[in-house]
Amino acid sequence: MKDLGSTLLREEAFEEIVIGNTAVARAMVEAGVRSATSYPGSPTPEIAEALAAIPADRRPLRFEFSTNEKVATEVAFGSALNGHLSVVFFKSVGLNVAADSFVQLSLMDIPGGLVVVLGDDPGANSSQNEQDNRHYALMSYVPVLEPAGAQEAYEYFKLAARIARERHTVVILRLTTHVCHAKEKVRFAAWKPEPLDPTPRFDPELQNYIPIAASVFPLKRRALERLASLASDPLALSAKRVDDAGNRKRGVIVAGNAYLSLLDALAEARERPDVLKLGLVHPLPAAALREFLAAHEEVKILEELDPVLETQIKALAYDAGLRTRIIGKLGVEELMGEHVPGAVRRIMAATWPDLYDAPPPQALPAVAAPRPAQLCPGCGHRSAFYAVKKALKDDDITVADIGCHTLGHLPPYRMGRVLLSMGHSTATASGLALFNTTRRVACFIGDSTFFHAGLPGIANAVYNRHDVLLVVMENGTTAMTGHQDHPGTGRNWNGETTKLPVRAALEGLGVTNIREVDAYQQAKLTGMVREALAEPGFKVVIARHPCMLKFTRDQRRKLKDAWKPKHVRIDQDACTKAHECVERFGCPSFQRGGGGVVTVSEDLCIGDGSCRQTCPAGAIVEKTGGAE
């Protein structure tokens, strides 16, 4: 797509091949969203990238990356209270961070309407678990629409926005990784820009916005009644389809991306079951479900992750006195992973063995060696881990956090051996330091996570005088999710802004023992860590170096044809084959071949030189031209 920004603002109807996230961005424009917030996390960041492609002077909405998902939810909620259709989007586990405020939203009257776009992650492609956020929806009485692909992501977002605005409520649009990233030719409607009406509509005299004991029950009653009424709303019920194959013996109830996998899996089946594909998955369309169940002898419930639909549909069938055989999850394997076509074929064959002439094809044997995750060549985190490891004893305890530096737990560094969630490291390390007089405790956190969720744990460590070393791995960006800015960068999504230095934030929290060093200064960093570990109480070392992936990309854009890549090479005459570069520093640019000869892959090497100080023989030298 040559000009994504112009495409998103086209006023005539058109078709375009886009990923689901881009389709959602266009739907936001068409629906009249005025305020959008987020915290970056796969699989949803491309929504923000699409919005960023719209020229600022033509952008019909305001967007921000907030400091975390809870704050993003609260900003969007506040905007919606004033009558502006608002959106917040983030990844699956981001809802855990936002939950304290999210679970209150259905109790509120929200004049502008609020859509929460969730990027759930079956298969844990970029997450620490396979969290199924439909449970949050059930717990908090929030309706959920679940699209199967990019076309439905576009259509269902507009439906969610309309429901949210007309009913003054919150609606979840539940995407999954494949829906976010798979491409499809999407049919977009015409769009006519409308001027912003800035009239504030927040009126606490008309609606109680304080859910305390005296008001909780009226607010909860209204939330339940609003949810129940949606189950019979023709607009909401339009989000479903029936593929009628005339098969009154077998049927399948499915939702989301699993529907598309089911179509592929049934392409070679001996017979085609009828299919009820749901779009509104909470509250369930009870009448449609009863009708479909009553018309079939057996019905398979096909859903990714937890048996959320299965449990409710079985209860509905029991209450209705239906005798249909309902087939849910058949084992642990159905509770894990993505329902891609091959997996769905195996599920359908296990459900009805006579459905296929041949057994399901076996998984292809692995033909390539596994490729471990790697820190990028030149990454300051690699230098930091290499240096910090020299200051630690074998039995010292290290705690990881979320970010690129999480990869420090892999060989050869083996640092950061426990992980819970964003910002947990200082508090978990504090607990590990209790009653501990023999094993020192160090923890790591990135600068983006520091602002996202790290501050409370640090405040607690100062307040309760925990004996812990915190190493802040500052690389000047939110690197793991695509180089978004954070409060420490001096920029936000809309341009220059106030910069919040990490050191100033630490000092503001009462931290007095602070050291700073460039992560490339390995010997100095090693010495600082040794000194800090010998001192009592809470102490911090800031190991700072720009993200080199971002730096090199920025330089290429800035210099264009003048950009000249740099590399290092191995002086084979000086090399003693100590293999410090391969085994302990671990940059993937180094390749060990026959006879232990080490060479440098120029496809990977960026010539930053951080590796040169690691070679005991001084055999890593700058390449100035010609062959090695």
Q: Does the fold of domain 380-552 match that of domain 4-230? A: yes
Q: DSSP assignment of 487-545, as one string?
A: TTSSEETTEE-----HHHHHHHTT---EEEEETT-HHHHHHHHHHHHTS-S-EEEEEE-
What whole-number distance in Å separates Cα of residue 47 and Cα of residue 620? 43
Instruction: Decide if pLDDT at 322 tops 60.
Output: yes
Cα-based angle 613, 616, 617 (whole degrees, multiple of 5): 105
The CATH number given to 240-355 is 3.40.50.920
Amino acid type, 234? P
Whether 194 has a pLDDT exceeding 60, the answer reads yes
pLDDT for res 263: 95
Q: Minimal CA–CA distance to 452: which of 102, 21, 38, 36?
A: 38
Q: Tens of pLDDT along 222-275?
A: 999 999 999 889 988 888 999 999 999 999 999 999 999 999 999 989 999 999
Q: Return the amino acid letter for 352.
A: W
Token pair, residue 497, equals: 């802004």
Alpha helices, H only, 187-325: 213-230, 234-237, 258-265, 286-294, 308-320
Q: Where are the domains of the chain?
A: 4-230, 240-355, 380-552, 565-622
Residue 556 belongs to what H/E stretch? Answer: helix 548-559
Q: Which fold has domain 4-230?
A: Rossmann fold (3.40.50)
Q: Please state, in angstroms and rounded to a whole number, the distance separating the CA atoms of residues 397 and 533.
A: 12
Q: What is the pLDDT of residues 501-534, one digit of tens each?
A: 999 999 999 999 999 999 999 999 999 999 999 9
Is the CATH code 3.40.50.970 the one for domain 380-552?
A: yes
Tokens 């819970």, located at residue: 420
Let me know: does 348 contact 292? Beta carbons within 8 Å.
no
Q: What is the mean pLDDT of residues 545-551?
A: 92
Q: Is the pLDDT of residue 471 over 70?
A: yes
* ∠ CA 53-489-466, rounded to 5°: 135
Query: What's the confidence (pLDDT) of residue 204?
Result: 83
574-591: pLDDT as tens digits: 999 999 999 999 999 999
Q: How far apart are CA 344 and CA 328, in angstroms?
A: 13
Whether residue 140 contacts residue 150, with contact meaning beta carbons closer than 8 Å, is answered with: no
CATH label, 565-622, candidates 3.40.50.1370, 3.10.20.740, 3.30.110.70, 3.30.70.20: 3.30.70.20
Q: Looking at residue 626, what is its pLDDT?
A: 46
pLDDT at position 1 is 56
pLDDT higher than 70, residue 353: yes
Please answer whether residues 507 and 514 qualify as being in contact, where contact means their C-beta atoms are separated by less than 8 angstroms.
yes
Query: Does pLDDT of 627 surpass 50?
Result: no
d(CA 588, CA 500): 34
Q: Quick one: which of 49, 61, 1, 52 has its CA closest to 21?
A: 49
Span 310-327, mean pLDDT?
96
What per-residue confidence (pLDDT) applies to 628? 42
Residue 309 · residue 284 · CB < 8 Å: yes
Which two structure tokens, joined as six digits, stand for 577?
Answer: 């084959």
Name the nearest CA neighbour of 1 among 494, 148, 10.
10
Lowest-confidence region among 20-29, 37-46, 366-375? 366-375
First to last CA, the chain: 41
Question: Average pLDDT over the chain, rounded to whole?
Answer: 92
Contact between 514 and 544 (Cβ < 8 Å): no
Residue type, 43: P
**What residue has token string 């501050």?**
455
| Cα gap 17→1, rounded to integer Å | 8
Contact predicate 259/304, CB 8 Å: no
- Spell out the residues 6+ positions from residue 549 whose beta carbon is closer than 8 angstroms to its own: 376, 378, 379, 479, 483
Indicate the residue type of 198: P
Task: Extract the tokens encoding 486.
Answer: 């954070």
Query: Which ranges of 168-300 would DSSP assign to H, the alpha helix?
Result: 177-181, 213-230, 234-237, 258-265, 286-294
User: What is each CA distance from 16 to 150, 187, 277, in whole angstroms?
Assistant: 11, 7, 25
